[in-house]
């Protein structure tokens, strides 16, 4: 796939998805951070259901610590791995207070020092909360990048590096959400909706096996 084809793909996706953004519900960078930590191996829908009752009660590090571990668990027990996630979140909140005056840091290095935060989560926060041109490669982006030929790679870091290199500059800010939403609703895992797909004639999927 050449640069002209990649540009056309992102132009079409941007036209079809004029307001690409996360489907997680949040109002502050801290709420987004908590939601993203909770979303690991869970659906956005399940996270939104839990945070709909959690955030009105606690939406700052101080409030989370006051809520306590068991109080937090009571709100997120419908989410997978909630026990370990609750522990990470309580530690994360203390780290924010101890090291960042309760604010979410704006660098990958500092974000990745927080409990429960890896490279993918850090990239989501940097992009969605702070508008940086990062791309967090989740299962949707990994699948779409490989299937289409936009940025084929054997692992998420390889795909991320290629996307950073190949995504047209004017689309780098929104590429993360454009690819996620395309993967979530069109280029689905088991049965991609190729007929009617807006990038079908540019996609290399017909030459590949299902990923």
* Known active-site residue 120: yes
Annotated catalytic residue 138? yes
**pLDDT at site 132:** 94
Task: Give per-residue pLDDT as tens, 173-196.
Answer: 999 999 999 999 999 998 999 998
Question: CATH second-level architecture of 29-129?
Answer: Orthogonal Bundle (1.10)
Tens-place pLDDT, residues 66-118: 999 999 999 999 998 999 999 999 999 999 999 999 999 999 999 999 999 99
Q: Specify the 3-state DSSP secondary structure of 49.
A: helix
| The pLDDT of residue 211 is above 70 | no
Is residue 206 very low, low, confident or very high in pLDDT (cuts 50, 70, 90)? low
The CA distance from 186 to 53, in Å, is 31
Let me know if domain 3-20+135-207 sits in CATH 1.10.1670.10: yes
Centre a 10 Å sphere on the Cβ of residue 18 and count the other Cβ atoms it contains: 7
Which is catalytic among the residues 138, 154, 172, 193? 138
pLDDT digits (tens, 9 = 90+) for 31-60: 999 999 999 989 999 999 999 999 999 999
Task: Let me know if the fold of 3-20+135-207 is the same as that of 29-129.
Answer: no
CA–CA separation, 162 and 164 (whole Å)? 5
Position 207 pLDDT exceeds 50: no
Q: What band does 208 get if pLDDT is binned at 50, 70 and 90?
A: very low
Distance in angstroms (rounded) separating the CA atoms of residues 55 and 197? 37
Domain boundaries, the chain: 3-20+135-207, 29-129
* Res 69: pLDDT: 97
Q: What is the pLDDT of residue 85?
A: 97
> Over 80: is that where the pLDDT of 134 sits?
yes
d(CA 43, CA 2): 34
Cβ proximity of 133 and 172 under 8 Å: yes
The string of DSSP codes covering 110-145 is: HHTTSTT--HHHHHHIIIIIT--------HHHHHHH
Please report the pLDDT score of residue 210 as a whole number.
Answer: 46
pLDDT value at residue 74: 96
pLDDT in tens, 146-159: 999 999 999 999 99
Identified catalytic residue from 4, 15, 45, 120:
120
């Amino acid at each position: 796939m050449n640069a002209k084809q990649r540009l056309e793909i992102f132009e079409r996706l941007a036209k079809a998805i004029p307001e690409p953004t996360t489907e997680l519900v949040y109002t502050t960078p801290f709420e987004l951070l908590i939601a993203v930590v909770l979303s690991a191996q869970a659906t956005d829908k399940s996270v939104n259901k839990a945070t709909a009752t959690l955030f009105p009660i606690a939406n700052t590090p101080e409030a989370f610590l006051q809520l306590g571990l068991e109080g937090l668990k009571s709100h997120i027990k419908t989410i997978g791995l909630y026990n370990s996630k609750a522990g990470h979140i309580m530690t994360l909140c203390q780290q924010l207070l101890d090291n960042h005056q309760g604010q979410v840091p704006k660098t990958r290095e500092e974000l990745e020092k927080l409990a429960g935060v890896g490279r993918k989560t850090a990239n989501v926060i940097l992009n969605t909360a702070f508008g940086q041109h990062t791309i967090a490669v989740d299962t949707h982006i990994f699948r779409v990048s490989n299937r289409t030929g936009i940025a084929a790679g054997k692992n998420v870091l390889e795909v991320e590096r290629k996307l950073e290199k190949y995504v047209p500059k004017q689309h780098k800010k929104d590429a993360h959400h454009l690819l996620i939403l395309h993967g979530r609703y069109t280029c689905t895992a088991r049965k991609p909706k190729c007929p009617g797909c807006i990038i079908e004639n540019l996609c290399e999927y017909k030459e590949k096996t299902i990923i």
